[in-house]
Amino acid sequence: MTQQWSAPTADGPVRATVPVPGSKSITNRALVLAALADGPSTVHAPLRSRDTTLMAAALGSLGAGFTDGADGSWRVEPGAMRGPARVDCGLAGTVMRFLPPAAALAVGDVVFDGDPHARTRPMSTILGALRALGADVDGDSLPFTLHGKGGLPGGEVTIDASASSQFVSGLLLSGARYEGGLTVRHAGPPVPSLPHIGMTVAMLREAGVVVDASAPDAWRVEPGPVAGREWHVEPDLSNATPFLAAAAVTGGSVTIPGWPAETTQPGGAARELFERMGCSVVLTGDGLVLTGPDRLTGLDVDLRDESELTPTVAALAALADGPSRIRGVAHIRGHETDRIAALVAEVNRLGGDAEETNDGLVVRPRPLRGGEWRAYADHRMATAGAIIGLVVDGVSVDDIGSTGKTIPDFPGMWATMLGTR
């Protein structure tokens, strides 16, 4: 069900402290590793959202046990992977790309499906890789069925991961459980969102898995156990950016508690991006503090490694005092929606001037007017509309409920930030 939402306009500079829920990327990687481990794990401060509850439900259907802790943690007891099972991927790339390599360890059939748009998202790369490694899979996109044989021999596979780094991460997460381990090589245009692969490698090593990532476009996971452990999930830095943007567009100040001094999250790059647009960004003992300028500066930026920030940056660009160009993000046409086309359409719908390029978009600021901002069932499109609505009267987002994919109560958090809740 879609949920129409009138984006509130700020009555002055936004000044707030906004605690942000845990990282989706870290949570879902931790859940997969916990389900494949040789003993129990606890995931502390996990994100509880549609994407992560779908991941937990999928792993549970494959044999893992989940217990809710009083503090919001998840206790995960690994179990032998088994079928038959049905996996609802929703619109979650991490579920549809991380779970098939794990399901190949099961005995029995595992059926994967998801939301209507999920059936259009690229999947042939990872399913082809699994076939090359010996898996039996019917189909090249959702819905598909994996006929589990109880394991894979492993070995080496070459893929083109230029559409998504999740293809590499999904294979690596389960590779240690294959008989001969796994070597993944990439051949093709550059892999986007490389920091996400770095996150995967780091978390595998934290779980005791031996990973060699020393060669360009190649990753080797040695066979062996995955250790059960305590996982501590950082705040989701990409989900923090709309709240930081609220300070940027209103000349206010927003603090995000718990922002890590060092991180593998691509969202950590937001600090530099906001600074380039004229904001003051300082990491203090209280968290990351962003103070907005009198006027935002346009920028020319390559977001290949941080492409999930594109909708936030595009919204800021539409409100800046000079043109902006976002490059290196052709692959986001295959995300929850074609984000390039969607951003251009919605900025122009409100009277802006945006155009598509081969690998991104150009935004030339013009006075914006109110109107409907369509989310295309995409959580980051919805939050981009909320940012613009802070300074443009009469903006409504047609599906604010889509934010539940990664932010459990975005409208409530937005209202609390503005002091209207």
Q: How far apart are CA 378 and CA 339, in angstroms?
A: 9
Q: Which residues contact 214 (CB under 8 A, 6 or more apart)?
A: none
Is 164 flagged in the annotation as binding? yes
Is 193 flagged in the annotation as binding? yes
Measured in whole angstroms, the distance separating CA 33 from the mean position of its chain's CA atoms is 17
DSSP states of 17-71 as a string? E---PBPHHHHHHHHHHHHHSSS-EEEES---SHHHHHHHHHHHHTT-EEEE-TT
Q: How far apart are CA 164 and CA 26, in angstroms?
A: 17
Is 86 flagged in the annotation as binding? no
Crossing angle, helix 339-349 and helix 310-318, to 10 degrees? 20
Residues forming a β-bridge with 107: 82, 149
Q: How far apart are CA 73 and CA 66, in angstroms?
A: 10
Is 166 flagged in the annotation as binding? yes
Residue 189 φ/ψ, nearest 5 degrees: -55, 165
Instruction: Please choose, from the candidates 294, 247, 291, 240, the residue with its C-alpha nearest in 3D space to the C-alpha of residue 269.
Output: 240
Is 165 flagged in the annotation as binding? yes
Q: Is 326 exposed, middle or buried (0-12, 13-18, 19+ CB in 10 A)?
A: buried
Is 149 flagged in the annotation as binding? no
Q: How far apart are CA 119 and CA 376, in angstroms?
A: 15
Is 335 flagged in the annotation as binding? yes
Is 405 flagged in the annotation as binding? yes
Choice among 179, 230, 306, 308 that is catalytic:
308
**Helix ranges, 104-149 (H):** 124-132
Is 220 flagged in the annotation as binding? no
Cβ atoms of 172 and 129 closer than 8 Å: no
Is 97 flagged in the annotation as binding? no
Per-residue burial over 282-297, b = 16 or more CB atoms within 10 Å of its CB, e = otherwise = eeeeebbbbbbbeebb
308 is catalytic: yes
Residue positions forming the annotated binding site for phosphoenolpyruvate: 24, 93, 121, 166, 339, 380, 405
Residue positions forming the annotated binding site for 3-phosphoshikimate: 24-25, 29, 164-166, 193, 308, 335
Residue positions forming the annotated binding site: 24-25, 29, 93, 121, 164-166, 193, 308, 335, 339, 380, 405
User: Active-site residue numbers?
Assistant: 308
